[in-house]
Amino acid sequence: MIEDKNPQRTPLENLGEFGLIDHLTKNFDIKHSSTVKSIGDDAAVLDFNNNKQIVVTTDLLIENVHFDLSYVPLKHLGYKAVIVNLSDVYAMNAIATQITVSVAVSNRFPLEALEDLYAGIETAAKIYNIDVVGGDTTSSTTGLIISVTAIGEVAKEDVVLRSGAKANDLVVVSGDIGAAYMGLQILEREKEVFKVNPQSQPDLSMYTYIIERQLKPEARKDIVALLQKLKVKPTSMIDISDGLSSEIIHICKQSDVGVELYETKIPLDPQVISTCEEFKIDSTTIALNGGEDYELLMTISQEDFPKIKGNPNLTVIGYITEKSRGMHLITRGEQVIPIIAKGWNALNNQE
């Protein structure tokens, strides 16, 4: 489905490992004073002598498990590989400062393909103001594998864990959810159509938002800045990568509390609702279990509610209860349904 716009194919062995690294990273510039030495030595040198704590997170993306190159452009993949890591940093109420990128590739990938991949990485680094300070490249017998490690900093008093939620706290989500999963359904459907008729050119104009949420998600750095501006420190926070149900269960288990979420309060984009109707799928089920939204799910003290009330970026979707009351969804019909984690599980979704 994705046309090869790079007719030139330079074999990677023409450059060698170190030549390849030099070629792919030559345009990365340094933006943070904490980056003393980046790419080009045995290890990066970082200096955080500023009374801040360091957060570190890593993610592994594997071809045909986490992405399908028949409809994922390599530039988008490079961008997304960075974003999924930055999202974890922002979920700690921290600011991302550096990343390392490691790539394993099979010999079906020429240099031009990796240039596209790294162009996406470079774009993310510029937009999110982060330094690329190292990584590795190696060969693979199973396609493309990408590992990104993100490093960030946060003042000791500002760090937010999953374990701080208290009874009567409000449950708040940024943005809207469910779009990334429905975008994936559209892409998968069109892939099947393409298999039958390779000449077909799908009209995806009515699905622009949900497809972009799948192929080019954004991490909510802006929400961290907004909370700081509003003088709101969440009591707990997590990013929505595996689905709302899985994430709220993580918070409840780590914080030793229960929760009640309200179906009517879950923020859904109109395109999600109409696409769910088209696929005959329940939109609430998608919001709970879809994943890859990379929005921030947090709990805040009720005293902070006036500070966020009416803010279009934040929606209150429920409240924290005592652990003994369990974890429940209150439906539109006021039924009380237990919340079960049915979101993405990397160990159960093998293709």
CB 237: neighbour CB atoms within 10 A? 28
**Rounded Cα–Cα distance for residues 332 and 233 (Å):** 31
Q: What is the CATH number of the domain that holds 230?
A: 3.90.650.10
Residues 257 and 320 in one domain: yes
348 found inside a domain: no
Q: What is the CATH number of the domain that holds 131?
A: 3.30.1330.10
Residues 30 and 86 in one domain: yes
1 found inside a domain: no
**How many domains are contained in the chain?**
2
Assign 3-state DSSP to the chain and report helix, strand, coil percentages, each to 5: 35, 25, 40
The answer to whether residues 116 and 8 touch, using CB atoms and an 8 Å cutoff, is no
DSSP string, 117-135: HHHHHHHHHHHTT-EEEEE
Dihedral sign (CA 311, 315, 320, 325): positive
Contacts of 316 (CB under 8 A, 6+ apart): 170, 171, 172, 265, 305, 308
DSSP string, 282-305: -HHHHHHH------EEEEE-GGGH
Residues 226 and 310 in one domain: yes
349 found inside a domain: no
**Rounded Cα–Cα distance for residues 135 and 149 (Å):** 9
351 found inside a domain: no
Given 92, 126, 158, the domain boundary residue is 158
Residue range(s) defining the domain that contains residue 177: 170-338
**Rounded Cα–Cα distance for residues 81 and 78 (Å):** 5
Residues 150-174: tens digit of each pLDDT: 998 888 889 899 999 999 999 999 9
**Rounded Cα–Cα distance for residues 33 and 15 (Å):** 32
Contacts of 77 (CB under 8 A, 6+ apart): 61, 67, 69, 117, 120, 146
**Rounded Cα–Cα distance for residues 149 and 221 (Å):** 17
Residues 154 and 177 in one domain: no
Residues 239 and 274 in one domain: yes
Residues 119 and 239 in one domain: no
* pLDDT value at residue 199: 84
Dihedral sign (CA 275, 223, 57, 257): negative
2 found inside a domain: no
CA atoms within 13 A on the CB side of 214: 23
Given 111, 137, 158, the domain boundary residue is 158
Residues 143 and 176 in one domain: no
Residues 274 and 216 in one domain: yes
Residues 144 and 196 in one domain: no
Whole-prediction pTM: 0.88
345 found inside a domain: no
333 found inside a domain: yes
Residues 51 and 194 in one domain: no
63 found inside a domain: yes
Q: Which residues of the chain register pLDDT less than 70?
A: 1-7, 12, 15-21, 35, 37-46, 343-351
Residues 187-199: tens digit of each pLDDT: 999 999 988 988 8
Given 131, 158, 185, the domain boundary residue is 158
Indicate the angle between helix axes 74-90 and 221-230, nearest 10 degrees. Answer: 30
* pLDDT value at residue 1: 43
